[in-house]
């Protein structure tokens, strides 16, 4: 089955610790995205990547870092510099590099709680 997987589903972290969220896709999609969702708010873009070894900051990149060493993988690191990291993190991918009308497919999300 093709799709996007994220792990872990739930993650607890102590303040001051870095943590890495995994995102893997076997859809052969070029573009991948990381979003953050907080209650009552829309999805906010953290980082995105349109091609391997290249990525761009989204609207709320401060305190986060990413890498794109393989087409299938786009891990997100939440660093200790992120002031309010407790949120629902969603990874997505999209096939069309030209920005056409095709949809984004989402992984099941990781719910991060900072204790």
Partner 1 sequence: RKEVEQDPGPFNVPEGATVAFNCTYSNSASQSFFWYRQDCRKEPKLLMSVYSSGNEDGRFTAQLNRASQYISLLIRDSKLSDSATYLCVVRFNTGGFKTIFGAGTRLFVKA
Nearer to partner 1, 66 or 91 (CB): 91
Nearer to partner 1, 101 or 115 (CB): 101
Q: Is the peptide bond before 114 cis (omega within 30 degrees of 0)?
A: no
> Using the rule CB under 8 A, which residue among 99, 112, 113, 114 binds partner 1?
99
- Report the distance separating Cα 93 and Cα 89, nearest Å: 14
Please give the structure tokens belonging to residue 36. 């953050």
- SS3 of the chain: helix, strand, coil, percent, to 5: 0, 50, 50
Nearer to partner 1, 76 or 90 (CB): 90
Binding to partner 1 (CB under 8 A) within 28-67 occurs at: 35, 40-43, 45
Determine the straight-line distance between the first and last CA of the chain, rounded to whole angstroms: 36
> Using the rule CB under 8 A, which residue among 65, 67, 86, 104 binds partner 1?
104
H or E element: which one contains 93?
strand 87-94
111 touches partner 1 (CB under 8 A): yes
Q: Which positions lie near partner 1, rule CB under 8 A?
A: 35, 40-43, 45, 88, 90, 99-101, 103-104, 106-109, 111
């Amino acid at each position: 089955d093709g799709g996007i997987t994220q792990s872990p589903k739930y993650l607890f972290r102590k303040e001051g610790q870095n943590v890495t969220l995994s995102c893997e896709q076997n859809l052969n999609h070029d573009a991948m995205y990381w979003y953050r969702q907080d209650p009552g708010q829309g999805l906010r873009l953290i980082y995105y990547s349109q091609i391997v070894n290249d990525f761009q900051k989204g609207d709320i990149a401060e305190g986060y870092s990413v890498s794109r060493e393989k087409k299938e993988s786009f891990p997100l690191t939440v660093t200790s510099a992120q002031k309010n990291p407790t949120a629902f993190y969603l990874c997505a991918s999209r096939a069309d590099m030209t920005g056409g009308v095709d949809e984004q497919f989402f992984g099941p999300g990781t719910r991060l709680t900072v204790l």
